[in-house]
Structure 1
Amino acid sequence: MTAATPATLFADPAPAQRLERAATALMAHGFTVEILDDAAAARTRIKDLIPDSAVVFTAASETLRLSGIDEDINTSGRYQALKPRILAMDRVTGADDIRRLLASPDVVVGSVAALTETGSLVVASATGSQLPAYAGGAARAIWIIGAQKVVPDLSTALRRVEDHALPLESARAQVAYGRPSAINRLLVLNAEPHPGRGTVLLLREAIGF
């Protein structure tokens, strides 16, 4: 029997019973969870979850890009989208303003590198720009998570981050920014102490890294 490689172990969608276990654990930890068929369903659902005119930060995410959610939020005109605003600011003279804007939006939308069946969200970041909002700075947080990111436990989640997500993100970053990525900051969300703040849209299909 051939041993599973990271490419197969961490890329295939988890079966329904594992998604249900993860969803049940998340809800027990204070998160709101919806299991949806695919990214198209999440793209539709998220329009109901974000109020018009809300200040919204879309974290860098292949899931958001591939699903069209990033474009919807940042170009629709329905929201006060932070990404276009920040891209127009000077990164040196406006650094403090950028940091404050990213830390406390009304809503942050993104994804994670892994979700454990015990109900923990694992986020890896090279810059940490999304972490303050994820951890509690945003009034609301919404994560769209593909089924391939569901793993049994935290140790497997960390292996997924290092062996699977990082190489893919490094390849993307090399093309986009001329340098590889790195796991400079790691955030583990074990529970949501403010019920209603954190929403997970868990997909039955694989999408993103």
Structure 2
Amino acid sequence: MTTPMPATSFADPAPAQRLERAASALTAHGFTVEILDDAAAARTRIKDLIPEGAGVFTVASETLRLSGIEEDINAGGRYQAIKPRVLAMDRVTGADDIRRLLAGPDVIVGSVAALTETGSLVVASGSGSQLPGYAGGAARAIWIVGAQKVVPDLDTALRRVEDHCLPLESARTREAYGWPSAVNRLLILNAEHQPGRGTVLLLREAIGF
């Protein structure tokens, strides 16, 4: 029987053995996994993984923001960055185009709320904008995952979403937009059937929520 994790530990990096277990399980489920030292290593690795000129959608993610990956992709000029394009479009007259751009990019880059040692990725979302791309709409998906997001099982992952991620994300959205966040949609990725489509860059350090 799995021992429940106290909420306070959800911010602590998992030790190497747990990272290895999660990576092995993900690999067995069809994901490509690389364990990297830190966010700086992921920032460098991203440049090798995404071909120049690709249409790339970066989801809202503290991991991407803090690592500098979001800025590299959206302001670096190397890719066809989708987020700046969408932000410049009219939300009413361009609604259909926005929906299509977000749902089927060449590459989607983001993070997850939790990664289980049994090899599942758990994504929580308020708007759901990243979910079509994550689930299969994007030709390739890359997730950068801090070591603090590794949990034993799915029950613990869902508790991490509610007890740890949601309060932090609500604080962020209150400051940015004036309202709290909500777990309106959940996506659980248990396996990847298309070889090479889903890549997880698992970090030895904690970053993001």
Smaller-chain TM-score bracket: over 0.9
Are the counterparts in 1 of residues 124 and 185 from structure 2 also a CA contact under 8 Å? yes
Are the counterparts in 1 of residues 5 and 156 from structure 2 also a CA contact under 8 Å? no
The answer for the alignment partner of 2:151 in structure 1 is 151
Aligned-pair identity (%) = 84
The answer for the alignment partner of 2:114 in structure 1 is 114
Aligned-partner Cα distance in 2 for 1:45–1:166: 29
AA of the residue aligned to 1:61:
S
- Partner SS state of residue 10, structure 1: helix
The answer for the alignment partner of 2:83 in structure 1 is 83
- Partner SS state of residue 51, structure 2: coil
The answer for the alignment partner of 1:189 in structure 2 is 189
The answer for the alignment partner of 1:24 in structure 2 is 24
- Written as runs of structure 1 = structure 2, the 5 A alignment for 1:27-46 is 27-46=27-46
Are the counterparts in 1 of residues 117 and 153 from structure 2 also a CA contact under 8 Å? yes
- Partner SS state of residue 187, structure 2: strand
- Are residue 100 (structure 1) and residue 100 (structure 2) matched? yes
The answer for the alignment partner of 2:205 in structure 1 is 205
**Aligned-pair CA distance for 1:93:** 1.1
Aligned-partner Cα distance in 2 for 1:145–1:95: 31
Aligned-partner Cα distance in 2 for 1:204–1:4: 19
> What 5-or-longer segments of structure 2 have no aligned partner?
none
Say if 1:188 and 1:72 are closer, same or farther in 2 by CA, change over 3 A.
same
**Aligned-pair CA distance for 1:5:** 4.5
Aligned-partner Cα distance in 2 for 1:143–1:191: 14
Aligned-partner Cα distance in 1 for 2:125–2:95: 18
Aligned-partner Cα distance in 1 for 2:6–2:118: 23
Aligned residues: 206
AA of the residue aligned to 1:177:
Y
Aligned-partner Cα distance in 2 for 1:62–1:91: 24
**Aligned-pair CA distance for 1:87:** 0.6
Aligned-partner Cα distance in 1 for 2:29–2:183: 26
Question: Deviation string for 1:107-150 (max 9, x for gaps)?
Answer: 00000000000000000000000000000000000000000000
- Are residue 128 (structure 1) and residue 111 (structure 2) matched? no
Aligned-partner Cα distance in 1 for 2:92–2:180: 22
Aligned-partner Cα distance in 2 for 1:9–1:163: 11
Aligned-partner Cα distance in 2 for 1:137–1:117: 26
Aligned-partner Cα distance in 1 for 2:166–2:92: 28
Say if 1:154 and 1:4 are closer, same or farther in 2 by CA, change over 3 A.
closer
AA of the residue aligned to 1:109:
V
- Partner SS state of residue 143, structure 1: strand
- Partner SS state of residue 188, structure 2: strand
Q: Give the TM-score of the pair, scaled to structure 2.
A: 0.97
- Partner SS state of residue 34, structure 2: strand
AA of the residue aligned to 2:73:
I
**Aligned-pair CA distance for 1:9:** 1.5
Aligned-partner Cα distance in 2 for 1:45–1:198: 15
> What 5-or-longer segments of structure 1 have no aligned partner?
none
**Aligned-pair CA distance for 1:4:** 7.0
